[in-house]
Amino acid sequence: MNEPLAERIRPKNLEDYISQRHLVGETGSLTNQIKQGFIPSLILWGPPGVGKTTLANIIANESKRPFYTLSAINSGVKDIREVIDKAKQSGGLFTPKNPILFIDEIHRFSKSQQDSLLAAVEKGWVTLIGATTENPSFEVIPALLSRCQVYVLNEFGKDDLIFLLDRAIKEDSQIATKKINLKETDALLRLSGGDARKLLNIFELVVNSEGGDKITITNDMVLQKVQQNTVRYDKTGEQHYDIISAFIKSIRGSDPNAAVYWLARMIEGGEDLKFIARRLLISASEDIGLANPTALVIANNCFQAVATIGYPEARIVLSQCTVYLATSPKSNASYTAIGKAQKLVRETGDLPVPLPIRNAPTKLMKELGYGQEYQYAHDFANNFTEMEFLPEEIKNTALYQPGNNSREKANREFLKNRWKDKYGY
């Protein structure tokens, strides 16, 4: 069987591996570990087609370790145990380094399947390398996650993708036999959605469907050859990001009709329902916030319900939450406040905590003034006393500005009555 182009030109060593310089560049966090052969169990997290599987293979080759691979799509606990048994037997006097077990799409493993890996990782029978497109904090069980280092792989940039195309034209044994003029690349790059594997598959399709040995690649030509790609929802590619963006922006724009439409597009396309529910949680806080704090409660209950009941009934819960958020008053005041606060922290560094509000658990700390002159709010009228809680260097800095909605207007009046002109409310 003829290997696809992406497989034929897959890099075999670090020198040929492109991008991800923060991991495998000269000062990359994985570079020295790979060269020294000291590889911890790790999770490679990043979008599709950015080199997770390739990097796992290179790590195994560079460290000269036995390499076993499983796909979470079609492997069960029995398969895991069989591979672990083989891995244990492959070690020994002449193989001092433990084997590598690579699991693609590890986020698809159930809790019991992930549990079956714990002993092997804990006792060092295998070095686990998991690849995932989903946030490991949500999709990998805490016990396994705590035993692994998480490394984030970034999307390929335009230059990286064009470099891959040039490499294929020059180095692939089948493509190099043709004279290819890469006149335009925008269509190839857009259809790939930043996925290198998809890019090379589309490129190979275009080249093979064009007769003759002299081929000029143009945008119109590419779109004509692969026009079906533009109408199919690809839950791991460009449309995955475009449609979730349209969904969230429709909610932010208070349009429940558009929001439910984009929700239906994702559901019909087979999108992970928990992914949608997580984005609703984020929107409830980022876009609605204190204009309607109940939105976060609704979204959290939605996430729990989706995780509990699954498809098809979960679509009803998602629709209910979507409509609720879209028709809710909006405010990004809390989101803006934490952004301002983090920027201020980066600019001013570790400012000292004012002595009156420091903790004073020991006699020495009390003698040094910790906690002195602290005014306990509940000892004063209306449970309030005006004192300074910010460091001296940034006192009177207003980070939270209430939004223009009924609930936050009440917040503004409350703060104005308490703090008078201190924060300019």
Task: Give the model confidence (pLDDT) of 203-239 as tens digits.
Answer: 998 888 887 788 999 999 888 887 644 444 555 555 6
The span from the CA of 89 to the CA of 83, in Å, is 10
3-class secondary structure, 327: coil
3-class secondary structure, 388: coil
Instruction: Report the pLDDT averaged over residues 393-412.
Output: 92
pLDDT at 89 over 80: no
Q: What letter does residue 92 receive in the DSSP assignment? A: B
Domain 344-419 has CATH 3.30.2300: no
> What is the domain partition of the chain in residue ranges?
20-152, 158-230, 238-326, 344-419
Instruction: Report the pLDDT averaged over residues 347-366.
Output: 88
What pTM does this model have? Answer: 0.60
pLDDT of residue 228: 47
Where is pLDDT greater, at 193 or 217? 217
The span from the CA of 233 to the CA of 212, in Å, is 33
pLDDT of residue 31: 86
Q: What letter does residue 290 receive in the DSSP assignment? A: G
The CATH class that applies to domain 238-326 reads mainly alpha
Instruction: Report the pLDDT averaged over residues 371-397.
Output: 91
pLDDT at 396 over 50: yes
242-290 pLDDT, tens per residue?
889 899 999 999 999 999 999 999 998 888 899 999 999 999 999 999 9
pLDDT of residue 238: 54
Least confident of 23-27, 95-99, 106-110, 293-297: 95-99
Task: Report the percent of the chain where pLDDT is more than 90.
Answer: 48
pLDDT at 395 over 60: yes
Domain 158-230 has CATH 1.10.3470: no
pLDDT of residue 98: 82
Quote the Cα angle for 50-55-56, to 5°.
Answer: 125
pLDDT of residue 368: 84
pLDDT of residue 332: 95
3-class secondary structure, 392: helix
Helices (H), 253-377: 256-268, 273-283, 294-309, 314-326, 333-348, 363-367
pLDDT of residue 364: 84
pLDDT at 137 over 60: yes
pLDDT at 415 over 70: yes
Instruction: Report the pLDDT averaged over residues 17-23.
Output: 89
The rounded mean pLDDT for the chain is 88
pLDDT of residue 362: 85
pLDDT of residue 94: 45
316-333 pLDDT, tens per residue?
999 999 999 999 999 999
**Architecture of the structural domain at 20-152:** 3-Layer(aba) Sandwich (3.40)
- For residues 4 and 169, is the Cβ–Cβ distance under 8 A? no
Q: What letter does residue 73 receive in the DSSP assignment? A: T
The span from the CA of 73 to the CA of 70, in Å, is 9
